[in-house]
Amino acid sequence: MKEQLKMILFTIILGLASSGILMGMDAYTSDKIIENEELAFKKSVLKAFEIDYEASEIVDVFSNQIERIEKDGYNFYESSSGAIGFEFEGSGLWGPIAGFLTLEEDLVTIQDIQIMEQSETPGLGGIIAEADYLAKYKGKVFDPDIVVVKANDQENAINEVDAITGATGTSRAFETLLNAAYKTKKEVLVN
């Protein structure tokens, strides 16, 4: 019985010590984690607006080149060139997709898209976050919607983008997500 009490006491002390260390590390690193998340967001926004920067100057370039505008509870970002951007988030095929979309001054033409989070299958739907795939959206217009089409040898219309081969579900989910985010945000912008 005495050995069992020692074991229970040892387990409790070990659990408390481990919990204390973990809580201390969380408190110690939480500010740095938040700072790194903010820097990653600013980096994505600057890339989406196609603004060059040095890693050491992200904060200064962001504050000099980007203005945050709050309207009807949404955050919009305007670059010094007049382009407008906003965050979007929604369901992909296997999990959430979150990113940042920039539009030309006409509020119809896509300037760039950056994906900040996605849970799609690596090598298939995960291609959705790759620069080569996202470049296909540059210059496309929401007229009336972005349409993802099966890849073919013909030139796509101004609002069509090739689907990811082998990831039709992810491509369709991304199409739905972009169109829904655009409609919601554009309605707020023009009113």
State yes or no: pLDDT of 1 exceeds 90: no
Residue 6's pLDDT is 87
Residue 159's pLDDT is 93
Q: For 50-73, what is the mean pLDDT?
A: 93
pTM of the predicted model as reported, rounded to 2 decimal places: 0.82
Residue 191's pLDDT is 80
83-141 tens-digit pLDDT = 999 999 999 989 999 999 999 999 999 999 999 999 998 888 899 999 999 999 999 99
What does the domain layout of the chain look like in residue ranges?
Answer: 66-190
Q: What's the 3-state SS for 36-62?
A: HHHHHHHHHHHHHCCCCCCHHHHHHHH
**CB neighbour class for 2 (10 Å; exposed up to 12, middle 13-18, buried from 19):** exposed
Residue 124's pLDDT is 87
Dihedral, CA of residue 119, residue 121, residue 127 and residue 130, to nearest 10: 40
15-49 tens-digit pLDDT = 999 999 999 998 889 899 999 999 999 999 999 99
Question: How far is residue 79 from each of residues 51, 102, 103, 172, 182, measured CA to CA in Å?
Answer: 9, 10, 10, 30, 18
Task: Give the confidence band of 151 by pLDDT, cuts at 50, 70, 90.
Answer: confident
Secondary structure element (H or E) that encloses residue 170, with its range = helix 168-190
Handedness of CA 121, 124, 127, 128 (dihedral sign): negative
Compute the distance between CA of residue 32 and CA of residue 86 in angstroms, rounded to an integer.
25
Residue 99's pLDDT is 95
Answer with the residue of higher pLDDT: 123 or 76: 76
Residue 143's pLDDT is 85
Determine what percent of the chain is predicted with pLDDT higher than 70. Answer: 100
Question: How far is residue 170 from each of residues 90, 100, 144, 148, 179, measured CA to CA in Å?
Answer: 12, 17, 21, 10, 14
